[in-house]
Structures are given as structure tokens and as C-alpha cells.
Amino acid sequence: MNKKERLIISSILISISLMTSIDVITDLNEGVAWWHVTIEAIVAAIALVGVYFLIKGTFTLKKSLKKERELSTKLLEDSKHWKESSRRFLEGLSQSIDTQLEKWDLTKSEKEVAFLLIKGFSLKEIAEYRSTAEKTTRAQATSVYAKSGLSGRSQLSAFFLEDLLLPQKD
């Protein structure tokens, strides 16, 4: 429920409470039965309780939203800090991968395909990204595997990423 809807509902409930209260006062002066006056007073009270919960909900929502914004800002800052601090490590990894691909004597196109395979792109995505036929990309991937002596994508990725995992403690 947005702010405008809460305001409209609160206004309606306050109006109901005021009109019912006026009616209760009038009924008391006219000597209307006590049960009738009691029911109308309860209706006025319930309307005011509704207003209370709408207002309380609004403040709770604002407080929650403020916390979420603060958390979001903190997470964005943490993410930015992590990216900055890990950038040099990632650049080093990229250079190490490139050096190994050079040792395997891959062509420029094969190296590009190899990097995209390591990143997890499908052959179709690589073909679209490089504006080549999927068949060409498949042939280049096969050439990468043959020149590297690896049997497929998982071994290619594992070749470079396996040492990034910390050894498990027994």
C-alpha cells in the first residue's frame, strides 16, 4: 500500500470515527438505548484503532526502508572495495592464463574462445559475442582442447582454477 492509499484510508477512518462520535453524543442527549450507543462508540473506537495501525505501519515501513537503504549502500561499498582490492589478483590470473595459452601456441581467436569458455559461456553465446558461426566456434574450441591436451571445457577450467581453491583441512 503506498503513501497516498494510506492517507486516503486514514482520512476515511477518521471521518467515520468523527461522524460516529457526533452520533453517539446526539444519541446520549436524546436518551437512545445504551446498547445502541455502545455499539456506535465501539465503531468509532475501531476506526481510530485502524488509523493508529495505519500510522504505525507507515513509520515502521519508513524505518525498515531506511535500514534497507543503509544496508544496500554498505553492500555496494563493500562490493566496490572488494572489486578494487581483487582487481590486481584478477589481472595477474588473466596474465597467467594468457601465458599458458601462449605456451599451447593458440591463435588469437583460439585464445579468445578459450577465455570465454573458462568464463562459462556456451558455444552459441561465444559465437554471438564474436559474430562468428557456431560451427567456427566449435572448431576453435576443439582446437583449444587438442593443443592443450585437455578433453573438454571442465578440464580447461579446472586447469586454471583448481589451485584457487584452498586445501581442505582434515
Residue 45's pLDDT band (cuts 50, 70, 90): very high
Please give the grid coordinates belonging to residue 68: 534497507
**Per-residue pLDDT, 88:** 80
101-117 pLDDT, tens per residue? 999 999 999 999 999 99
Task: Please choose, from the candidates 116, 104, 93, the residue with its C-alpha nearest in 3D space to the C-alpha of residue 162.
Answer: 93
Residue keyed to cell 578494487: 84
Distances (CA, A) of 128 to 125, 134, 135: 5, 8, 11
Q: pTM above the 0.75 mark?
A: no
Torsion sign across C-alpha atoms 119, 121, 123, 127: negative
Name the CATH architecture for the domain at 104-164. Orthogonal Bundle (1.10)
**Per-residue pLDDT, 166:** 61
What is the C-alpha separation between 153 and 113, in angstroms, rounded?
Answer: 11
Please give the grid coordinates belonging to residue 100: 599458458
What is the C-alpha separation between 160 and 56, in angstroms, rounded?
Answer: 56
- What is the domain partition of the chain in residue ranges? 1-86, 104-164
* Cβ atoms < 10 Å from Cβ of 137: 25
What is the C-alpha separation between 114 and 100, in angstroms, rounded?
Answer: 11
Torsion of Cα atoms, 154 then 156 then 159 then 165, to 10°: -40
**Per-residue pLDDT, 163:** 67
Does residue 168 surpass a pLDDT of 70? no
